[in-house]
Structure 1
């Protein structure tokens, strides 16, 4: 009977303590992230988690403005090829190891290593010697130099005006190299949130990093739940179990009526499209691709499925980005024109294709509407529904005919909607899901990337986008508008312009 007494004292002391109770924010993902390793981050889910766990040399704020991160400043020389970054002192990984220029270099070399090809390496490939290193043909990357512990110098193969924005992307987040034991399941970063646990397909838990160079987050814990089901997410939010919720397009009217004061709106830097695999059968003919664009009644789908939350797309560059052309007309819904183009291409009797999509409810409705519209011109569509990882693998391997997808801005620049999506060097994993190869377009994109003249960049980007529209590698759908709800007690949360821009550091609960 003597053992409980000390325990009783502990319990009484805890009850009488003035220490505040731990506070927790609740977020969610619609699928388990494939990886928490920056070198292997290729999707929005993993990219959002990388932004919590790690720091970059530079990073985007919620409005997609480039801000200092592990670097306090940078400059570029007159050639446009040499960038010098100056690192802050005192930054450490979560295990206490210091971060200097050598650690940044080692992290980037790991991301570029041949065994990291499953990741999205292209933001680092402009570095001099990076392609040879990534291919296993060189022992190091000539374009990364470390003159001292607080300076890192990048030399590019050719001028690239947006290179600093590339360094804010997940693949450029700084991770320990070599990786500590168990890193894949228990990652170590330097970001505002420390890793606590990862129950696959259930939840990730993060604790605030008290030692972060920018100061700790406002709340103690951030739990990120994995909730694929749309109805479940809505019910959890209404029960107060989620801090924020992206409003499904089909539910927009109900939420506007019920909780208008909790809603936020923001035009999204995002494309919604159907990629047409130009390597597969009839889809290699531009006349067929244009016919499919004419066959789909996009305006009706936008109104009925998406509650009008978007702007018709006549290209890939969205509003709010230089190079967007509001005067360019979208493909008109014209079934007669669609049939004529199919007849000219030798497909008067149509053909059969598969349309791959994920499990989101609005994707089901979009796919069904597209299936019906294409059937009207003789194109028989089999809809294939799979989970997100299966769809990604199939599309990136070039095994899907049509792919209903969306593209989130990694950084606010027209290049992000041209180079990864349509340059012939980015087939598959790089983002070119249509497997488009067009040497004229490649050259146009390259010139827009290189020029230091902003007006020239805008002109070249607009012309590139016009050519993309003419080549019709997608069925161009719309640029959506985001609507989110935030609980009334949640303060400081805003819809980010790019998916890595919300790090939850200034978000707090008022109760």
Structure 2
């Protein structure tokens, strides 16, 4: 028996509602992002299975920028940004999740970590239908969700999450509206030149580091137990089993 480990094209994230104070201030969003040690979540909740996310795209998605550093864990800088934004003593907020054990555990971990910079988080668990409806209506402060770039392309991994035409139910539940970002995503969608597209998505990822509409947690890895006599079994990054080359070795 061995374990087949497949990197996915998915993302788990905590989104901020840019239409609500204090998350309408980019410094607050950056501070929260820098105050979370993602390794704690991956090791403690996902048993070390997963890749820390620096942005919305997994490494195996076309358009991923390997030179992007993201917002790194730095409590001192997070506290300085909060003070600069006028929240030296922190603030109170809510973090929504649906009834999913791993997401609830991630939410409570974030709740504990944010205490270190004076942010008091009330974790609220919502029924799935109400969760989707209310986050689509911008009723939340922070929320946990996931997304998968099932096509393996940056357009699917970024357009719905960040384009202003997609706010609410289509996928942009952080309600980010940025003309420069819209133009980059539009150009990436229109262009047929791979080099051009890579540059558009590189610029878009750089802009998202600054705008920090969400805290990127991790890219999932799929684990599958396989008996030793099973040969040639593969999984795709969206968890589809490829069986055409499978054989049994007696």
TM-score (norm. length: structure 2): 0.89
Instruction: Report whether the alignment pairs 1:434 with 2:174.
Output: yes
What SS class does the counterpart of residue 395 from structure 1 fall into? Answer: helix
Cα distance in structure 1, aligned partners of 2:245 and 2:144: 35
The structure 2 residue matched to 1:420, chosen from 144, 154, 160, is: 160
Measured after TM superposition, the shift of residue 308 of structure 1 is 2.2
Matches within 5 A, 1:60-459: 260-261=1-2, 263-459=3-199
Question: How far 1:497 moved relative to its partner?
Answer: 2.5
Query: Residue deviations 1:185-242, cap 9 Å, x none?
Result: xxxxxxxxxxxxxxxxxxxxxxxxxxxxxxxxxxxxxxxxxxxxxxxxxxxxxxxxxx
**Whole-angstrom distance in 2 between the partners of 1:490 and 1:386:** 42
1:503 CA displacement: 9.9
CA contact (8 A) 2:235 2:242 kept: no
Structure 1 residue 419: Cα displacement: 0.7
> CA offset at residue 423 of structure 1?
0.3
Please say which structure displays the higher CA radius of gyration: 1
- Give deviations 1:457-492, integer Å, cap 9, x for gaps: 111111111111211000121222111346899999
SS state at 1:428 partner: coil
In the TM superposition, residue 348 of structure 1 has moved relative to its aligned partner by: 1.6
Q: Structure 2 CA distance, aligned partners of 1:466 and 1:313? A: 14
Which secondary structure state, in structure 2, belongs to the residue aligned with residue 302 of structure 1?
helix
CA contact (8 A) 1:323 1:465 kept: no
Counterpart CA distance in 1 for 2:181 and 2:214 is: 15
| Residues 148, 157 of structure 2: 8 Å contact kept | no
Aligned-residue offset at 1:443: 0.5
Verify the 8 A CA contact 1:296 1:374 in the aligned structure 2: yes
Partner of 2:202: 462
In structure 2, the CA distance between the partners of 1:332 and 1:506, relative to structure 1 (3 Å rule), is: closer
1: CA distance between counterparts of 2:23 and 2:93? 10
Moved over 3 A (4+): 485-496, 501-507
Q: Does 2:219 match 1:479?
A: yes
In the TM superposition, what is the alpha-carbon distance from 1:281 to its structure 2 partner? Answer: 1.1
Whole-Å separation in 1 of the counterparts to 2:107 and 2:183 = 34
- The residue matched to 2:222 in structure 1 has which SS? strand
| Residue pair 1:355, 1:382 contacting (<8 A) in 2 also | yes
Normalised by the size of structure 1, how large is the TM-score?
A: 0.45
**1:275-330 Cα shifts (integer Å, max 9, x gaps):** 11111110011100000011111122222222222222221111012221222223
1:397, 1:506 → 2: CA distance?
47
For the 8 Å contact 1:312–1:330, the answer to whether it is kept is no
Deviation of the 1:394 alpha carbon: 2.0
Unmatched tracts of structure 1, length 5 or more: 1-259
Distance change >3 Å, CA 439–CA 361, structure 1 → 2: same
Instruction: Give the total of aligned pairs.
Output: 248
What secondary structure does 1:356 align onto?
strand
Q: CA deviation at 1:411?
A: 1.3
CA RMSD of aligned residues (A): 2.6
User: In structure 1, what is the Cα distance between the partners aligned to 2:232 and 2:123?
Assistant: 41
- Cα distance in 1 between the residues matched to 2:193 and 2:175: 30
Distance in structure 2 (CA, Å) of the matches to 1:369 and 1:431:
25
